[in-house]
Amino acid sequence: MLTGIEEVDWASLGHAYGPADDVPALLRGLASADPAERETALDGMYGAVHHQGDVYDSTLACIPFLLELVADPAVQDRGGIVELLTSIGGIELDDDEELDEFDPDDEEFIPAANYAMAAAAIAAGADVFLGLVGDPDPEVRLAAPCALASLHPDPARVLTLLRESLTVERDTEVRLALVAAVGRIALRHASLRSETVEWLDWLARAAQDPGLRLAALAQLARCAPGEIPDDIVRWVTELLEEIRTAAHGGGGCTGAAGEGGTGTEGVRPATPTLAGQVRELLEEQVAGRPAPWTEELLRTLHSALDDRVDDRIALILAQLRSPDRWQRSDAIWLCGGLIRVWRGRYEEIVRLVGAQLHDPEPRLREAATSFLERLFELGGPAADALTSRLTAGPAGPGARRDGYGGLVGRSGRDGALLALARAGDTRAVPLLARALEEPEVRRELLYAMDGLGPAAAGLAPLLRRRLAEVELDEGLFDRAAPLLYALAAVRGGQALPEVLRVLRGAPEHRRDWVREAALRTLAAFGPAAREAVPDLRGLLTAESAAVATMAARALWAAEGDRGDVLPALEQWLRPGSSAPDWCCAALSLAAIGPAAAGSATALRPGLASRDLWVRVRSATALWRVSGRADEALPVLLAAWEENRHARVDIAECLAEMGPAARDAQLTILTELTRRRRHNAREGGSGSHDIHQDEKLLTLCRAALARMERGAF
């Protein structure tokens, strides 16, 4: 076992955290009889030797030993080692990156060379994976198909083996892995695609097991999206119903897991590792689910459907109406990915998700709440369900009522309240008042008050009291900023003494941040902040542009111009000013509007800046102070195409211009016809992404309407 491991000079090799002299212990740990030690060793391999997918020289040195461990049937948990090898050897250079095109002196050369050498080394020993498709350990059989499809140099041989193995395999999840591996081969090898697609089409229609038919259909859609049938929604819905009926024997929507599966006997000991945490999380997610694998199949199918938004919505609606709560839960998570990327008519989906808030299954309620939190104005159709949830939800087994007459714990209540407030429903106001009476308030609730309008004015006294209790220490910004934002949103001018206390008492740590936040609140107070004028005038000369320009804006709002506001702003519009400083001044001038017309000359140089945001802020401010659309509009339209993240600000300005922005009509119409959200990005999202895109659409419609009416 691990012959020759001592002959490697591990100390001369490296991994993510330095010399690799600890790697032999990790490799031996993978072969340990102790399951906790095996899991700790695997976690160490991912954490150091294959850190975040990187391949080091020590990673390359490990490959022969990892292949040896995989080949030894006496080693337990070999499925995890197979997955590790698949990850190490499965990294591919982009199509336009070949190793011989890299300069050896380029910093990217060594990583690229390591990836290539790892792939070659594992491919050379990949025959070891051929015997694993019949291994007694289902975990090994589960990992082997992907390894073969990704790493073996003879894909035709692998394809034959995978198809043959499917005829004898009885474990449900392993069978699905075999079908997924066939799909991977079709995507990777064009010469085998036609044959593979034909086989997948046959399997999707002929297999007796509905789960297998669904898996084949998902891979077929992935490999040949142009051949997705028009009746895909009906087809998938019927398969899901067959799966549900088979799993539950025709009844209920709960029960023990079905036959098959890959769980090991007994309970593994907990380990303080990331691998252990991931394993426990996955076990928790599938606990009690008869067919947990349907979620991944549907995710694959949705990815293949891509911009067929109407089909995807119809499929999710069918799932949300299913008597199986797990199908409904899957639908919510899948819809989260859909609504984040694509525009569409989601009213019925939102209403049905809201209905899940009263389900006795806590994981389903949590999924629904998490989804609704991110919808903002799109959450309106669920407002009644959210209100009911917060005030008089049905008591289920083991449920308890909180102090609001609603159900469950703090996090669930806060999430539902946040969703209701972000939807702009004024029924959130009394519930927010009660939340403000508690020792701790979720900060997002404070930032959600700006969408509630005048109805939220009654929250000002409670916000004032909380701000008065904030200590003026180094944690001031984190505690005071959300309260200051909320006070600005509700125009709580009666809190002027408390805001001034924060402004004057800001500690050195993040002092400028605290001052800027307090000044923004004073600007929102307008004339009600007149007592703050001496403080505001004193901060006009602050070294920070953010502080000085916000002080100028607040001073203007409090008493108008006494001759010192515009000069204080224009000093940040001089040659040599940094882009952030220039933008701060332009934003304040834009807020002042036509009364700052004399500053137009100072703004014009910003129209030609190399910095896009300086151009956008300058053009917007120039329009608002001077009404010169002929100067501002070309700059804004160019920026629209250059940076999609500037579109909300630009659309707001175009909506103000009305008929003067007619040259932007085609741009606006083009945006309104796009199905994909302007800020959608792969691999991540922000909590306000949907809200920002919906705001863009609203502004575009308003701009177009004003252009067509020929009046503001």
Q: Which tens digits make up the pLDDT trace of 471-503?
A: 999 999 999 999 999 999 999 999 999 999 999
Residue 336's H or E segment, with its range, is helix 325-341
Is residue 90 a part of any domain in this protein?
yes
pLDDT of residue 392: 64
Distance CA 676, CA 45 (A): 39
Nearest to 654 by CA among 603, 616, 689, 692: 616
**Residue 604 near residue 632, CB atoms below 8 Å:** no
Average pLDDT, integer, range 646-661: 96
Q: What tens digit of pLDDT does each residue of 575-588 get?
A: 999 999 999 999 99
- Report the SS3 class of residue 14: strand
Residue 705: Cβ within 10 Å count:
11
- Nearest-Å Rg of the Cα atoms of the chain is 30
Distance CA 549, CA 589 (A): 9
Is residue 580 a part of any domain in this protein?
no
Is residue 136 a part of any domain in this protein?
yes
pLDDT category at 259 given cuts 50, 70, 90 is very low
Q: Residue 99 pLDDT > 50, yes or no?
A: no
C-alpha 247: how far from chain center: 32
pTM attached to this predicted model: 0.85
Is residue 131 a part of any domain in this protein?
yes
Q: What tens digit of pLDDT does each residue of 375-421 get?
A: 999 999 999 999 999 996 444 433 444 433 344 456 789 999 999 99
Give the residue ranges of DSSP H helices in 560-677.
565-570, 579-592, 600-603, 612-626, 629-642, 647-657, 665-673
- Report the SS3 class of residue 255: coil
Q: What are phi and psi of 186, to 5 degrees?
A: -60, -40
Beta strands in 511-575 (DSSP E): none
**Mean pLDDT across the chain:** 90
Is residue 636 a part of any domain in this protein?
no
Query: How many domains are contained in the chain?
Result: 1
Q: Which two tokens stand for residue 593?
A: 């509007």
CA 602 vs CA 92, 481, 583, 595: distances in Å: 52, 32, 13, 14
Distance CA 495, CA 498 (A): 5
Greatest distance between any 2 Cα atoms in the chain: 88
Q: Does residue 478 come out as left (phi exceeding 0), alpha (psi in the -120 to 50 range) or beta?
A: alpha
pLDDT category at 354 given cuts 50, 70, 90 is very high
pLDDT of residue 397: 38
Is residue 13 a part of any domain in this protein?
yes
Distance CA 69, CA 433 (A): 61
Is residue 33 a part of any domain in this protein?
yes
CATH of the domain at 111: 1.25.10
**Residue 582 near residue 614, CB atoms below 8 Å:** yes
**Residue 43 near residue 270, CB atoms below 8 Å:** no
Distance CA 164, CA 168 (A): 7
Q: Which domain holds residue 38?
A: 1-153
Is residue 676 a part of any domain in this protein?
no
